[in-house]
Each structure stands twice: as C-alpha cells, then as structure tokens.
Amino acid sequence: MARAPADRYRCSACGYESLKWLGRCPECEAWNTFEQYTPAAARGSAGGGRSARSRAADGGRDSAGGAPRGRGGALRGEFGSGDGDASAGSEAAEVVWLHELEGRAPERVSSGIGELNRVLGGGFVPGAAVVIGGEPGIGKSTLMLQAAAAAELSTLYLSGEESPRQIALRAERLGLRAARIRVAAETELGRIEALLAEQKPQLVIVDSVQTLFAAELGGIAGGVTQVRACAQELTDWARRSGAVLLMVAHVTKEGSIAGPKLLEHIVDAVLHFEHTDNELRFLRAAKNRFGAIEEIGLFAMEERGLQEVLDPATIFLVRRTAPVPAGIAAAPVFEGTRILLVELQALTVPAKGGVSRVFSDRIDSGRVSRVAAVLERHLGIGFSDQDIYVNVAGGIRIGEVGVELPLAVALYSARTERPVPPGVIVAGELSLAGEVRPVRLIERRAKTARELGYGRFYGPPVKGGGGANEAHHEKTHTVESLRDCIEAVFGRAAG
Ligand code: TYD
Ligand code: MG
C-alpha cells in the first residue's frame, strides 16, 4: 500500500520486470538481482523531450522490432551505403515488394576465421549486430582482435577495457596484421556515434558493451538501462550503415551485471564462448537470425592466441597404452555437421540408504536413468540398488540421441566389470522396448570410426535400406535390439 503504484522491479542481469521484488529471476534464474526503478511513463513531464535512446531504454523489446530494421542496410549488402548518422525518426521506411527480396540469401563476408564463419552460418552479414558472450578471461578480446586482423574489412575497435597501447602489444605478440584496424578508447555513445559517422568503418568491435554509457541517460555503465539503450542504438546504426557490429558482453557467475541475455531481443546473433575441461574453447550460437544454431566452433588457446581446431574428431578421445578398463565406451556423436568421437565413462556403486541416484552432468540424467531401466528390464542387469555416475571425457555435453546405445554399453560394462573389447564402437537410439532405433548418417559415423581405428561398428539398420546393410560402403554390423548389441560386443549376455 505504501509503495508508489508506478514502481517496479527489474532484474539487473536480463531486464525481466516484475511488480514485486523477487529473490530469483524467473527469466535468467539469477539470485538477488532485482532492483527497484520507476518506469519512464511515471516520470511524467520529463518524458516530453526524450530521445530515441531513452525510448529504447524503456521499451527495448518493442522498439527492437520497429522501423529501423526495414531500412535495408543488410539487404542491400553494401558497406557504408547508408548515411550513418541519419536520424532514424526523420523519414518513413522504404516500402519493398517481398517477392523482389525472396530467395536472396544474405550476402556474407568472411570473418577470415573458419570456425567463427561456421558458427555465424557462413560469415558476417553486413548490417547485422552480433553479441559474443563469455566469462572474463575466456578469450573474447583475443578472438575479436584476430577477427579484426583476418577479415578483409576496415575496422574500428572501440575499447573500454584496455588501452590502445595494450591492444597494440597484444596484436604484436600474436603477430597480427594490424594495418586495417583503428582503435579508440571511447565508451560514450554520443562520441562513438560521431566517430562512426566520421570513420565509416565496415566492422565495428565494441569491447565491452558493459563499458558503454550514454551521458544523458540515468543509471550506471553496465546497468540494464545503459547496456540496453547503447546496444539498441549501435544495432540501429549498423542496420542503417550496413556495417558489421560485434559487441563483447561479459557473463559473470553472480549475474550482477547486464549480460548477453538482455541483448538477445535486440541483436541478430548471440554467440557464447565457453570452456571445456581441457584447454579447448567452444563457440556456440544461442540465437542466429541468419543461420542455424547447431554448429559449434572449436578453438585452443595457445601461446599465439586462439588456434582453430580443424579436425576435431579425435580431440575428446583419451589415449591409453594400458588396456581400456570396464565402464568405458567410445561413441561417435554429431555436433552440428561434424562427428566427434567421445569417451563415455560409467561407474556404479551400491547405493547408500537403498536409494539409487544418478550423477551425470554431461548427459541428461533422465536419459541415463532411462537407459539403465531398459538394461534392467531387458537384460536383467540390476541398477535399482546402485548409484550411477556418468561422465564424458573432456567435459563436452552431449544431447544427441545416438549416444544412447553407447551409454548402454558403458553402463553394462561398468555393472558387469567386463571391458569393451578394443576396436569396438556402437551408435544408436534405444527404445523403451529395448529396440535399437535408427540415427542419422550412420554410415558417416562408421566411416569416421573406422578411420580412427574402430574396426567393429555396431549400429541400427539404415533407414529405408533393404534389410541387411549390404548397401553400406562401410562395414557395419546391424543390431536390432539391445540384447543383440550386448551379445555382439561382449559375447553371451549375462543375466
Ligand atoms: P582475453 O581475450 O583477454 O579474454 P576476455 O576478453 O574474454 O576476458 O584472453 C584471456 C586469456 O587468454 C588470458 O588469461 C591470457 C590468455 N591468452 C593466451 O593464453 N594466449 C594468447 O595469445 C592471448 C592473447 C591470451
Ligand atoms: Mg577482454
């Protein structure tokens, strides 16, 4: 009652709004991020002379879908074709016939880095804004600098985190061609817009979006209002001018600063840079308006910056000289259009207190429970009094159904203490009835596995293939049921 009716609460991490204070944000699940604020409408007469910037701040989600998108920078695919500093509100949007634009894939410009192009869906799209999110220290600035040097574009690097001198040192240490890169340690939006109008770059890197601020807006740099408004303004500028905009956004565990999630509705693509257990880095798209989001990019951070991992098939396999212990099975799984061979590790121990639990971070634990239940029901292997631990070497998460049959093999091996014989590999989906279901591109999995030393491949029948897999160029052995598979791999099944 005492509360002024117009006051609201907003998550400082993702911008989610609520009428009451919440301990945990239902949108981004961050804790203790809600802050009180007064919406602009309630500020009354102060709204009279508001700029597009502050309207964007208050209604970022709505204005993100508004007029500036239709202005055609991306569709024309030309750099610097628009008037970078034309006021967005002064003229009506151009009207176009849809059929004239149909079927034209967006023009792509190579970033000069294959793995980055892959995740982007083929390269940069002129006029598009891309956010690169990740924890501090993961390598975002390094990637930006390498892309700036590799892309054949005139680049303006706006740094709010490092001085131009530090960036120059890094470029020198990495041996990068820095001839086309201009750097400015500028973070104030108005001055940035002036710089953009003057320099007319084809590629703009903002490092980081959390250091930006617009002098006439309230709030602190890095806060929801500032980050959203500045990102919106620059995104609109990119659309008008046809330049490529890359914005670095830090993600922190505490979620106390506005992060990539906040910008998802504003920009065209959001890429996440993440760690694995070994020194590899993944680049993944969480959103991509111009391409699929299933491809991952793989990098290793080395002495001289990020190196692309061009042939990732074996990087997650564990090399051993000793025989492979029980509980381990290899699996050929798809990540996007590439096959990775991964090592699944299973361990079962008697459950304490008689309650069976599953500990599995890398494969959904519901899937692990289901596969264990199928083994129990159809092969009589008891798991209900066991705790089950499942891991994937290298720390990669696997969500693909083709991992189910290898998971069953690893669990069987762990529970019976019979190691998988050398050279054996399996792939397939498992039904609750204990059947082995087809998975896509089984022949490619078999081929990759054979090239990497797995001579005995067991998998489901090929979809639409007439009976036996005789049409296979690759030698695969068809298994129709889990029992078939276990007997083929281990000899006569126990139980
Ligand atoms: P950086 O790109 O600064 O990360 P971010 O911008 O995401 O905060 O890189 C962070 C780490 O990478 C830093 O701890 C040092 C390491 N690194 C290398 O190992 N090799 C290199 O060549 C470079 C440039 C950085
Ligand atoms: Mg950085």
| pLDDT > 70? residue 256 | no
Cα 6 to Cα 137: distance, rounded to the nearest angstrom: 40
Tell me the CA–centroid distance for residue 440 and ligand 2, in Å.
39
| DSSP designation for 162 | S
pLDDT per residue as tens digits for the range 57-77: 444 443 333 333 333 333 334
Tell me the CA–centroid distance for residue 421 and ligand 2, in Å.
47
Tell me the CATH number for domain 328-490: 3.30.230.10
Closest ligand (CA of 175): 1
State yes or no: cis peptide before 154, omega within 30 of 0. Answer: no
Residue 135 Cα: closest atom of ligand 1: 7
Average predicted confidence (pLDDT) for the chain: 83
Tell me the CA–centroid distance for residue 382 and ligand 1, in Å.
48
The rounded percent of the chain whose pLDDT value lies above 70 is 83
Stretch 75-83: mean pLDDT: 44
Residue 482's pLDDT band (boundaries 50, 70, 90)? very high
Tell me the CA–centroid distance for residue 64 and ligand 2, in Å.
27
pLDDT per residue as tens digits for the range 172-223: 999 987 778 999 999 999 999 999 999 999 999 999 999 999 988 877 788 8
Residue 248 Cα: closest atom of ligand 1: 6
- Contacts for 385 with CB less than 8 Å, ≥ 6 apart: 350, 351, 354, 356
316, two tokens: 């997650």
Residue nearest to ligand 1 atom 11, measured at CA: 137
φ, ψ for residue 231 (rounded to 5)? -65, -40
Closest ligand (CA of 137): 1
Sign of the dihedral through C-alpha 478, 480, 482, 487: negative
Tell me the CA–centroid distance for residue 422 and ligand 1, in Å.
39
Tell me the CA–centroid distance for residue 157 and ligand 1, in Å.
17
| DSSP designation for 473 | S
Q: What residues does each domain of the chain span?
A: 1-50, 114-308, 328-490
Residue 301 Cα: closest atom of ligand 1: 19
Distance (Å) of CA 342 to CA 43, 133, 407: 57, 26, 11
Residue 253's pLDDT band (boundaries 50, 70, 90)? low
pLDDT per residue as tens digits for the range 97-128: 887 777 667 789 999 999 999 999 999 999 99
Q: Which CATH number fits domain 114-308: 3.40.50.720, 3.90.79.10, 3.40.50.300, 3.90.25.10?
A: 3.40.50.300
Q: Are 177 and 153 in contact (CB under 8 A)?
A: no
Which of 169, 301, 302, 304 to mutate to test ligand 1, by most ligand atoms within 8 A of the CB atom? 301
Which residues are 316's β-sheet partners? none
Residue nearest to ligand 1 atom 25, measured at CA: 305
Cα 429 to Cα 408: distance, rounded to the nearest angstrom: 10
Tell me the CA–centroid distance for residue 55 and ligand 2, in Å.
29
Tell me the CA–centroid distance for residue 144 and ligand 2, in Å.
9
Give the pLDDT score at 65.
37
Q: Are 458 and 485 in contact (CB under 8 A)?
A: yes
Domains 114-308 and 328-490 share a fold: no
Which of 142, 169, 172 to mutate to test ligand 1, by most ligand atoms within 8 A of the CB atom? 142
pTM above 0.95, yes or no: no
Stretch 134-148: mean pLDDT: 94
Closest ligand (CA of 251): 1
Q: Are 270 and 286 in contact (CB under 8 A)?
A: yes
Who lines ligand 1 at CB under 6 A? 134, 136-142, 170, 174, 301, 303-305
pLDDT per residue as tens digits for the range 432-477: 999 999 999 898 899 889 888 898 999 998 765 544 444 444 567 9
144, two tokens: 């930006």
